[in-house]
Amino acid sequence: MTVLHVLENISAESPDLEEEMNAVRGKFQELVAAAAIASMKIHLEVRQGEAYREILKLAAEKQSDMIVTGVQARNSLDLAVFGSTTDRLIQLYSGHVLTVPI
């Protein structure tokens, strides 16, 4: 299992990018016990870019059977103006997408 966090609001050229990525990795380590990572073969990954593109790219690289994603409630204006990562995943991914309300 791969747990992915995508940093969308920071430029790939930002001098703070590596620091931000390390901060996310640290939070992952706090949330997921080291024993669970070792026994369940959980891989923690942090990337920068557009979330849906990075998720699809990782799914292709890992030949994933399923994408599981958290979904926050959004209003219609948010969806019309900004789009939805989950909507794009459902439209573009050839496998299964499981959405979990958060």
Question: pLDDT for 78-98, tens place per residue?
Answer: 555 446 888 899 899 999 999
Coil, strand or helix: which one is 81?
helix
pLDDT of 43: 82
Higher pLDDT pick, 25 / 74: 25
Count of CB atoms situated within 10 Å of the CB of 89: 19
Nearest C-alpha neighbor of 22 from the set 3, 37, 44: 44
pLDDT of 21: 92
Structure tokens at 17: 């990018």
Integer CA distances (angstroms), 88 to 13, 15, 82, in order? 26, 30, 12
Distance CA 48, CA 62 (A): 18
pLDDT of 92: 94
Give tens-digit pLDDT for 30-74. 877 766 666 677 788 999 999 999 999 999 999 999 999 988 776
